[in-house]
C-alpha cells in the first residue's frame, strides 16, 4: 500500500491511517487520502498497464488505499466503453466528443466504482455492517456489490426515490428505510445511526474512500485515449464527489508520470439543484438550496463534497454550467437516438451541459471532449416516457399497418 495518510483539504491537518476516520477532527471538513507517488512510480509504467490483462478497476491497485485485494468485489467493475460519439458531435458542430458509458456497470451506474473500493476498505477495517444513504444509485450500487459478497447492507433513501431504484435495493437483499423527507435528511439520519451502532458508513462526500474508487474512471479514459488527455471533461454534479474523484484520478496519473497534461473540468448541474455551479460561477462559497429537479441522482440541498468540488474545478481551469430539466430531457432523447445510449436524467446531464456550452459559444468546436454517462435510463423510465411518444395501437390487420406506416413516412 502506497498511502502516506489522510489530510484535511481545508485546514491541512494530517493523520495516519490507523482506524476509520470520516471527517477532520479539527475543522470537520472532508479528508483525502495522500499517496507516495515516488513509491508508485517504481511499481507502474505505461508498458506494464499495456501488458496487464485484468481489465477492471483492480488493474490500478497501486493507486488504492488497500493493503491487499482480499475483499475484492467478484463482479466485473470498470473498463467501460469510451465511445467516440460522431453523430452526437456532428449535431453540436463539434469535431471530437467521447462518451464514457458507466451505465453498463453491474448496478447500472457509475457508483459501482466508489462502492467497490469503499466497501473493500470497510471490510479491511473489520466492520461487520455496512450502511449508506442515497438518492438511489449509490444505494443500489452498495446493495448490489454487497450481495456479491454475501452481505446485506442497511440503506436509507428518501421516500421519493424512483421505484426502479428501490426495487434494485430490495431485490439485492438490502434492509431499506424510506425516509419521509429529503435526501439530506436521509443522509444525516444514516450518519447518526451509524455512529450509534458502529456501522461502516459509505455515504458520498462523508466517507473519504468513495473518492478513491471514483477516480479510476479517469485512469481508464487516459488509457483508452492512448495516454492522451481530453481538453475538457463534463461531469454531472450532485454532492460533488464524482467530480473530485475524476480530478484526483487525472492528477494521480500526472503525478505518477503517466500523462503529460491535465484536462479542464466542467461541473454540470440542474438549475433546480445548483449549489456547486453557483459557487463556481460566484464567490466560491457553497450556499444550500432547496433542490427540485427530475435528475434525482444529483438532487441535493447541501453538497457534502461541494467545497472541494469547487476547488477542483478552479484548479483545473474549468467552469460550471446549469441546465434546465427540459434541456436534460432533450439530451436523453438526443443521446439515445444519435448514439444508442439510454441514460437517466442525471446520467445525461453532461451531454446537456456540453450542448448548452456549444450553443452559447463557450467552447471551441475543435476541443476534445469527454462526457460522463453516470446512470442507465431504465432507472427512471418516467422521465423518458415524458418525451419518447406513444406506440401506434392497431388491430392485427395488414391494411391497418399499411395505413399507419404511410402516415409515418416509412413507405
Q: Which of 237, 231, 219 is nearest to 80 (CA)?
A: 219
The answer to whether residue 411 scores a pLDDT higher than 90 is: no
Confidence tier at 79 by pLDDT (50, 70, 90): very high
What pTM did the predictor assign?
A: 0.95
Cα 129 from chain centre: 24
pLDDT value at residue 83: 95
- The pLDDT score that the predictor gives to residue 163 is 87
CA 155 to chain centre: 19
| Mean pLDDT of the 276-305 span | 96
Cβ neighbour number for residue 174 with a 10 Å cutoff: 26
The model's pLDDT over 296-306, given as tens digits with 9 standing for 90+, comes to 999 999 999 99
pLDDT surpassing 80 at residue 23? yes
Mean pLDDT to the nearest integer, 302-324 = 97
CA-to-CA distance for 251 and 174, rounded, in angstroms?
A: 35
Mean pLDDT (the chain) is: 96
pLDDT of residue 190: 97
> What is the pLDDT, as a whole number, of residue 18?
87
- pLDDT tens for 108-129 read 999 999 999 999 999 999 999 9
pLDDT at 288 over 80: yes
Evaluate if residue 340 carries a pLDDT over 90: yes
Per 3-state DSSP, the chain is made up of helix, strand and coil in percentages (nearest 5) of: 45, 15, 40
Angle of the 111-125 helix axis to the 137-148 helix axis, nearest 10:
50
- pLDDT computed for residue 172 by the predictor: 97
- Is the pLDDT reported for residue 238 higher than 90? yes
Residues 69, 332: Cα–Cα separation, whole Å = 37
Q: Which of 390, 312, 380 is nearest to 347 (CA)?
A: 380
Q: Number of helices (H) and strands (E), helices first, in the chain? A: 16, 13
Sign of the Cα torsion 250, 254, 259, 263 reads positive
Asked if the model's pLDDT at residue 312 lies above 80, the reply is yes
Query: Tens of pLDDT along 125-168?
Result: 999 999 999 877 999 999 999 999 999 999 999 998 888 889 99
For residue 264, the model assigns a pLDDT of 99
Residue 20: predicted pLDDT: 96
pLDDT at 86: 98
pLDDT score, position 136 = 77
CATH T-level fold of 82-107+210-385: Rossmann fold (3.40.50)
What pLDDT shows up at residue 147? 98
Q: What is the pLDDT of residue 164?
A: 86
pLDDT reported for residue 359: 94
Is the per-residue pLDDT at 284 higher than 80?
A: yes
Burial letters 331-365, b for 16+ CB under 10 A, else e: bbbbbbebbebbbbbbbbbbbbbbbbbbeeeebee
Cα dihedral sign for 262, 316, 10, 374?
Answer: negative
Q: pLDDT digits over 347-393, tens only?
A: 999 999 999 999 999 999 999 999 999 999 999 899 999 999 889 99
Amino acid at each position: 500500500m502506497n498511502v502516506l495518510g489522510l489530510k484535511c483539504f481545508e485546514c491541512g491537518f494530517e493523520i495516519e491511517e490507523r482506524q476509520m476516520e470520516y471527517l477532520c477532527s479539527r475543522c470537520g471538513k472532508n479528508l483525502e487520502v495522500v499517496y507516495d507517488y515516488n513509491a508508485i512510480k517504481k511499481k507502474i509504467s505505461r508498458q506494464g498497464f499495456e501488458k496487464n490483462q485484468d481489465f477492471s478497476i483492480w488493474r490500478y491497485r497501486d493507486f488504492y488505499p488497500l493493503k491487499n485485494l482480499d475483499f475484492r468485489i467478484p463482479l466485473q467493475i470498470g473498463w467501460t466503453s469510451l465511445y467516440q460519439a460522431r453523430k452526437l458531435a456532428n449535431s453540436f458542430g463539434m469535431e471530437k466528443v467521447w462518451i464514457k458509458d458507466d451505465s453498463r456497470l453491474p448496478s447500472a451506474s457509475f457508483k459501482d466504482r466508489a462502492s467497490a473500493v469503499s466497501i473493500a476498505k470497510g471490510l479491511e477495517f473489520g466492520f461487520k455492517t455496512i450502511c449508506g444513504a442515497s438518492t438511489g444509485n449509490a444505494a443500489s450500487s452498495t446493495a448490489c456489490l454487497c450481495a456479491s459478497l454475501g452481505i446485506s447492507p442497511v440503506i436509507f433513501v428518501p421516500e421519493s426515490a424512483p421505484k426502479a431504484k428501490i426495487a434494485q435495493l430490495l431485490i439485492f437483499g438490502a434492509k431499506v428505510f424510506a425516509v419521509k423527507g429529503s435526501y439530506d435528511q436521509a443522509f444525516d439520519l444514516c450518519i447518526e445511526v451509524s455512529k450509534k451502532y458502529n456501522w461502516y458508513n459509505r455515504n458520498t462526500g462523508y466517507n473519504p474512500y468513495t473518492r478513491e474508487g471514483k477516480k479510476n474512471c479517469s485512469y481508464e479514459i487516459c488509457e483508452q485515449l492512448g495516454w492522451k488527455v481530453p481538453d475538457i471533461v463534463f461531469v454531472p454534479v450532485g454532492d460533488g464527489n464524482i467530480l473530485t474523484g475524476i480530478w484526483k484520478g487525472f492528477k494521480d496519473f500526472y503525478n505518477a508520470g503517466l500523462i503529460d497534461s491535465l484536462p479542464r473540468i466542467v461541473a454540470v448541474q440542474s438549475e433546480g439543484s445548483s449549489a456547486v455551479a453557483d459557487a463556481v460561477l460566484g464567490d466560491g462559497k457553497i450556499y444550500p438550496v432547496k433542490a427540485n429537479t427530475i435528475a434525482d441522482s444529483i438532487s441535493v440541498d447541501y453538497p457534502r463534497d461541494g467545497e472541494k468540488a469547487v476547488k477542483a474545478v478552479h484548479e483545473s481551469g474549468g467552469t460550471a454550467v446549469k441546465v434546465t430539466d427540459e434541456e436534460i430531457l432533450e439530451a436523453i432523447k438526443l443521446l439515445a437516438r444519435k448514439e444508442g445510449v439510454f441514460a437517466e436524467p442525471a446520467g445525461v446531464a453532461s451531454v446537456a451541459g456540453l450542448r448548452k456550452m456549444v450553443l452559447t459559444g463557450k467552447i471551441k468546436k475543435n476541443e476534445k471532449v469527454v462526457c460522463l454517462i453516470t446512470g442507465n435510463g431504465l432507472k427512471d423510465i418516467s422521465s423518458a416516457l415524458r418525451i419518447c411518444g406513444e406506440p401506434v395501437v392497431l388491430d392485427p390487420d395488414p391494411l391497418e399497418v399499411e395505413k399507419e406506416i404511410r402516415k409515418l413516412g416509412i413507405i
